[in-house]
Chain A
Amino acid sequence: MNRSARGRALVLAGSALLLGACASAAPAPGPGGGPAPTRPGPRPAAYESEDFIVTFAQPGDTPDTLAARFLGGADKAWMIEDYTGLRAFSPGQEVVIPKRPWNPAGVTPGGYQIVPILTYHNLGEHAKGRLVLAAASFREQMQYLKTNGYRVVSLADFVEFTRLGRQLPQKAVVLTFDDGYRAFKDYAYPVLKDLGFTATLFIYTDWVGAGRGALTWNDLRALAADGFDIEAHTKTHADLRRAHGETDAQYARRMHAELEQPEELFNRNLGRRSQILAYPYGRWDEGLLPKVKEYGYVAAFSVRRQGNASFVRPLAGHRSQIYSEMTLDDFVKNLNVFQEENLR
């Protein structure tokens, strides 16, 4: 190395440090070791109040690492992404991190958040009819969610959202599986585990253990222990609306069977009751709502193909069914997460 080059290196080493501080760039040199000497890594500098943390990204920082460092877990990365609108940071970049939820209703002057709840039924090696979805299509759809920044949240979190009790990520999506098909274990479970997604299974209790195509209570217990949510889909999967000519007494008996008996089975087999209901065939009417409430359900869902605002009536929630014949484009049409509306 000749003299001047060395001298230059030294000069720059000294100045890089200072300039680095000046630009609020990271104190440590980039990967590969730039001219700046490595400083012993001090705790990242940050300003903190009860609402916000203001800090500066270090080399290699992502929303995940920042959330792990400042919010107690990478699962809070969405707060940083949603607040800053960024998914990547350059070293030294200022990052404002909200310490607590700032918009539980999901309403902004430009419109409001809506949460798609997707409904699946059976899966198989190959598609069959509308409701048996090919395993490969399912994987493709889940992968799409992951790749495109959607955040799968639990149905319980969604219900809290409808009570102004929990802010959800801007791109929150809920996954549900109706009836309780065994295929869930074979085809959906591995994909969901792989991607770290959770889901709710709505089961109708007459079907549980009823044949080779059905999940058993043992399966359901294992799934529940594994972080999946099991909820009610009545006893017999009958339309819950009052039938033409049904007397008060008849209807009351039927409601008891459909809404109460599953609860006894839930208690006995899973050690808890269900407070969330999926209406069979998605059918409900205003007359049904008081009944559902009376039996202790706090949220219930149809299959009306639209997303849910936080202020949706919890007993009249919407879900979008995913059919086997849908292309990926068709699938994506069910993923709108925002209704634009000028609310200023």
Chain B
Amino acid sequence: MATWLTTSSFADYPQQGRELAVSHLSDLQRVPVALLPVFLVDLKAYDWKFPVEQREIAKRIEFAGANPSSLAGFGNIQVPTTLDNPTRIKDPQRFLADMTTYLWSSLQMDAYRAAANRFVGIYSAAGQPDQPLVPRLVMVCIGRDAQQPDFSLFQKLHKFGQLRTNVRTEGAAGAMLAALHERAKSHPAPYAHWYVDGGNPLSTFDSDQVTHIFYPELAPLNQQILARMKACIEAGSGPEVLHIQLAELNDLPEPGQASLSDPRLHNFAVSLLTEGSGTQLFSTSFVQWTTREVLRRAQPTTLLVRFAPRQRQKSFNTMVAAGTLATDLDPAGSLIDADMAAYYAYLEMQRLSDSEHSTFLAWFENHPQAFIAGRGIAPGSVNDSPTTVAELLSEVSRTS
């Protein structure tokens, strides 16, 4: 256990995170060292976490301190003195990376994984997670600019809900946006309603009460990141230097875009581009990872996600040079990417509280195919009758 933690251990941490750590010092001192970096990473970034995350971090620390038996699984994990060491507190990301490397190399990762799963299981069973303001609604538009493929869409999703094959395309995107706007206005709350787009947003988008991230708007930030990656590659600096250089981007002045003037959102955007893999180069990877992170971290009440075509695969150097501004696009490949990503979005939504009341809608943009899951929808069914997105959302909302 990290009995060597003191109040001064957190002197370099941002204010809110430091205050939380100091006020829960005795709880943190009971945390096994193998698990400690996970808690410290959260504390160091606490000031930029979303409100629901902040509540979760505090609850988890309190629970660990009050229920040491939940951490018993970590008892057999051996940690060397180089890691069981107060000097590691200052840089928790590095601490976590080194701990992970050590656990793999000492072949203790399976034991760690079992211990972590046990802790999460006990904690989840004991806690009362935050509930959404109203039942959640997640809407995913896939396949912008893609032709009808020679395979069936939504196959992985099908067993969870209904395929709709005759959805009117006119007004469909507008209906999704209208649902987002209506819910945001009737249930306003910070970071509760989101719109993520891999391209430029739908023309009728109104940002009032809606948190949004559009890939093209991140181009200046992304170019900085790609420039650092390119420099590291050319210098042969290695992945560790690259990691450090990318981590420093969180300390850069915020870019000029109004959409990222919120420090939390800026921090979030940087994390998407530095911690996400492929997010710097492929808009589909960016939207998939952003969807996952928005659901996992912000736990929104409403989420509208729209995929855009990613750049065509080329050599690494060419893709780095093109970055966010690539013009040679691959709509067919992007449709496959987004179809899988829609499935992952559904799985992530199911991990959140109140999932039994949630609604999930995926639509092949400008085509009559859609998928819907929610209360009252027969899993594995197919419905060929004519409908609209507005009608689909209305039907499900009546039963949620």
The reply to whether chain A is a binding partner of chain B is no
Residues in chain B within 8 A of chain A (CB atoms): none
